[in-house]
Structures are given as structure tokens and as C-alpha cells.
Structure 1
Amino acid sequence: MGLFWKLLRHGQRLLVYPAGFLDSPTWVDTPSSFSMPYVDITLTTKDKISLHCYLVTQPEDEARTKRRGTVIMCHGNAMNHGHILHVAQLFYVEGFDVFTLEYRGYGNNEGSPSEKGLQRDAQAAMDFVSSHVVLSQNPIIVFGQSLGGAIAIDVTSRNASKVSALIVENTFTSIPDIVKGLPVLRYISCLCTQRWNSQSKVARLPASLPILMLSGLIDQVVPPVHMQKLWKTAESRLSKGESPEMDQSVKSADGDTQVESIDKMVTFPRGTHNGTCLQSGYNNAIIKFLERHIPPVSDGEDKPDEVMINAALP
């Protein structure tokens, strides 16, 4: 299908979700390429779209003591879920099961992407993990890069009681805000049909929910100011009515006791839009955040009896 016809037919959605309109078949890497065991999972969304996703699981002989939780991963707009497996490997090594969500129209999935459609896709992933006989016993973490960050924020805002932590990387305040920063298109930002209003959703997240924000300071796709605004919004929710759950006390330079926020913002001076995850300190930022809020299970700590995860899958 020619580019002109695609633009005519799909309009704004083609610009926001370019990899969701590629001709099939599309090559999608698998977790086995990263030495991770996995199961192919087919989700069915509320509107009857089938999604082919991956569930990376801890080895059964270690899972009883090692499994810390499940990370639902949401990728960016110009990739498929095979492109975030190197980050999935980090979570896996740290003792987490990983569910990589593949959106409608992406990879080799049916359908075509839209804001409402991707919201349904993410909800299907959340429903699967939160109702699974094994996965539901442990914390759920939601991770998203770029567009995936907007999806992660959205699904977390609608399922806050089920989520133990949120991690977002190089994402935006909203699609109209992105358009406002473009030389010519800024004048028609009000016409955006795909909005992804992340800033307003972050403001509604519980103060007790730990959030990690990862920002590349030379991102030329999503200007870093978007992450700065999201960070300020995340911090401002701590002062609104709700009593925030703060982390451990720390000593300031003058000896006063201060309470450290459960949220964390980490910037990477040489981080580009897609290259932030390759920067020194990236892995450590995630590891420290998770250790702080979802610590590893100690050798002497009892975990609930678990059935084998493969046997528990539909």
C-alpha cells in the first residue's frame, strides 16, 4: 500500500503509530535470543482483537524463592515488542517475570492502532496478569518507553490499586503538546484526535504509588521538557489532600532529618530518545528503584505455595 493511500486512509494514526501500519509479515525477535524462557500468550481484547504477546518466566526450580513480581512492558511507537527484550532481560535477571505487550497492528497482530484500541490492549494485559493464578500473587510493575510510557501511565491510572510501581522513559505530556513544538503543525494541535493526556493522568495517581522517571537530555523526538513537566506533576500530587506514603528518613548535610520521596527522576546527559537505555547508570537506576520498593525475597522468607506457571496458563 503506497504512503499516500495510507495517509489518506489512516490520517493522524499513521503518524502517531507508524509501525502499526507496516505490511505483514514482520520480523519479531523472541526472548530465547536473550536466553530467557518464555510462553507465547494470545490475549483477546474487549473488542475481540487477538494479540500475540510474550510471557517471560523465572525457571521453575528457582521461582518459589526468586520471583519478585511481574513487569508489564509497553514499547514505543516505531518498534515492536521484540525491540525491548534487552530491557526485559534486566528485569528477568533481577527476579521478575515479564509480560511484553504487543499492540494491535504491531508485529504480526491483527487490527489497526488507535488511542482507544491501545487502551483496550493494555487493559487486556493488566487483566491477564492480575487474574493469573501465579502472577497475581506478586507485585505488578508497569514499564513504558515513549508512546509506551503514555500507555503505561494510562493503564496504571485505571488500575492503580493493582500496580505496585510505575517506570516511564522519554515519554510526553500529551500528543497535542508534542505537536505544539513542531514548526508548522503547532497551529493545528487542537485538531489532534490521538491525545494521550499523560500529565493529567499522572496528577491523579495515588501519592503512595512509587514512580521512576528516566529522561535522556538530548532526546530530539520527545524534548526533555516533557519529562520535566511530568516529574513536577508527579511530585505535586504529594501535597494534595491524600496522605503520601514516603520512604525512609535521611539525614541532610546540616543534620536535620528529612523524609525522602518514594518517586525518583534520573537524567542521562547523553541519552537520546532510543539510546537512553544504553547509557551508563540506566540499569543501576532501575535496580536501585526496585530494590527500594520491591526488595528481593530473602532466603529464609516463606512464599505462598505456587503451582508451575506453565501448567497454570490457559
Structure 2
Amino acid sequence: MNWILFAATFYIVVLVAMYLLQTRLVYPGSDLRSKPEAYGGVGVQEIQLKMADEVQLTHWFIPPRKKHYPVVVAFHGNAGHTGDRLAKLKYFTEMGFGLFQVEYRGYAGHEGTPSEQAFKADGLSALKWLSEQGYNKDKLIMYGESLGTGMAVWLGSQFPVQAVILEAPYSSIADVAQAKYWFLPVKYLLKDKWRSDLSIQDVKAPVFLFHGENDEVIPIALSRKLFELIPNDKQAIYFEDGYHMDLYDHGAEKNVREFLQEFVIGKLNTSSP
């Protein structure tokens, strides 16, 4: 009977530790970030915004090259920052779009404690700044990678954006955690669940989703689950040899370009005088 008591005690200790450490597990943060030029970001503007709790965040912005083109608002994944993602997203600016890379509190050397509530407030602040520069919500495209897909889906459900692009998305963080820690009831312990499966049902804009069949971080089954819930125009590409961070090595840029040509640029050209 002693081993049963030990096993039960150990299980409870693990549960308590998971609950107490969940912020660090869900939001591991990233290394310090240098200036944009260190990542090839010539011409990138650093936009400093102070949040309601006095946390100051520095985002990166490149205005659209073409008149009337939208701004792509990009939310990166975990364990990285805007500098890590700039190179792979520069094709948006080559196409004529603007690019606004949102940075997170607790990442890239920023102060503040990450949370779903805080991230959403910070995201709204970024959109408010863009609106003040003349880029209204209907002149935006939401782009999310991994963790950042939760932000892209949520904002896409709140505003009439032009499109939503999701790289390795999930149905919810609770589903991701439960798949990883299948032996624990973690989905009931999580404070931040990031319910994209609920928010996606309110997205009116076209959605493009791409994922790797071999993804070991976010199971592709969760991506397929999310795709089925998209109510309007939608496209998906699943890369047979793709993992979590290598989708652009398998041709994702070409697929995103084709999606934007059909659902955004085509409409812009039609509506232009």
C-alpha cells in the first residue's frame, strides 16, 4: 500500500507544480532582441507604446509600399521574437503590404508578465496605434504563428479584417497541453486556454491555414479541427514532410502569396479606380 500512497502523493505534487509553473511553461519568453538592422531590417520603424500598466513595448513597423494596400499584423510564436521572424515575413513588404510585427511582454527583453488577458490588451493597443496612423481595422490582415495564432484568430473575430493567415495553429492551448500531458487533467488547470475553436466561428474574413504533418509541438489534428470550424472562405495546406518551424522550407510563401492574390489583391484591383 505504501507505493500506492507514494504514487498518489507524487501525482498530486506534479499537478500542483504544473499549476504554479504554468505561466513559465506556456510563455517561456525569449532572448534579448537587438535593433532591426541586426536582422536585416533596414527601414524598419521601432514603435514604442506604453500599456495601461506602464509596461512599454517596442513593435516593428514597415509601411505599405503600394497605395491602398493593407498592413499585415504579425504575431510570432513562442521562444522567439520579431527579429527571428523578420526575414521570413519580408515577402509581405515585397508584395506591397505593410508589416507590423507585434512584440510580447516578457519577451525580447520587455518587462511584464505574459497572459492571455494582457496579450489581448496589448494587441488592441497596437491596432489602436495603426488606426491613428490611418490604417483602420478593415485595412488589416492578421497573421499568427503557433502561439500567435490565438491572437490572430481572436482579433479577426473582433474586427472586419481583410484576411487571417495561420501558421501551425491550434484549436485551443488547452487541447495542446492535454495532448502533451495526456496523463494529467491539465486542460482543467490552465488559466489561459486560448479558445480559437470558439473565436474562429466569428471570423468573417477569408482564412488560410498551413501546418506540417509531422509537427510535434502542435498536433496537426488540432489544426484540422480548427479548419472545420471556419464558417466562411477558407483554404488549408498540410505539408507532408513539414514539422513545426520549417514550413517555409516546404513552399509556404508561395501558398500564402497565392491566397493573398485571390482574396485580397484581386479585390483591391477590382475596387481601385
Shorter-chain TM-score above 0.5 = yes
- Work out the CA distance in 2 between the residues paired with 1:227 and 1:138: 26
Does residue 142 in structure 1 map to residue 142 in structure 2? yes
- Work out the CA distance in 1 between the residues paired with 2:39 and 2:79: 21
Q: Which residue of 2 aligns with 1:70?
A: 71
User: Contact 1:42–1:52 (CA<8 Å) still a contact in 2?
Assistant: yes
Does residue 41 in structure 1 map to residue 65 in structure 2? no
SS in 2 for 1:177: helix
User: Which of the residues 189, 196, 199 maps onto 1:198?
Assistant: 196
The residue type equivalent to 1:172 in the other structure is Y
Gaps of 5+ in 2: 1-16
Q: How many residues align?
A: 255
Closer, same or farther: CA 171–127 of 1 in aligned 2, 3 Å = same
Q: Which residue of 2 aligns with 1:244?
A: none
Q: Which residue of 2 aligns with 1:96?
A: 97
Gaps of 5+ in 1: 1-6, 239-261, 303-314
Mapping of residues 183-222 of structure 1, within 5 Å: 183=181, 185-206=183-204, 209-222=205-218
User: Which of the residues 230, 233, 238 maps onto 1:267?
Assistant: 238
Closer, same or farther: CA 295–191 of 1 in aligned 2, 3 Å = same
Closer, same or farther: CA 27–9 of 1 in aligned 2, 3 Å = farther
Closer, same or farther: CA 156–46 of 1 in aligned 2, 3 Å = farther
User: Contact 1:179–1:185 (CA<8 Å) still a contact in 2?
Assistant: no
- Work out the CA distance in 1 between the residues paired with 2:167 and 2:151: 12
User: Contact 1:215–1:276 (CA<8 Å) still a contact in 2?
Assistant: yes
TM-score (norm 1): 0.74
User: Contact 1:69–1:96 (CA<8 Å) still a contact in 2?
Assistant: yes
Greater helix share, 1 or 2? 2
Kindly provide the CA deviation profile for residues 28-83 of structure 1, in whole angstroms up to 9, marking residues without a partner as x. 4625733541111011224332110111134xxxx4x4562100000001111111
Q: Which residue of 2 aligns with 1:13?
A: 23
Task: Point out which structure has higher relative CO (alpha carbons under 8 A, 6+ apart).
Answer: 1
Identical amino acids, percent of aligned pairs = 25
- Work out the CA distance in 2 between the residues paired with 1:230 and 1:85: 26
Q: Which residue of 2 aligns with 1:116?
A: 117
Does residue 295 in structure 1 map to residue 251 in structure 2? no
TM-score (norm 2): 0.85
User: Which of the residues 55, 73, 77 maps onto 2:61?
Assistant: 55
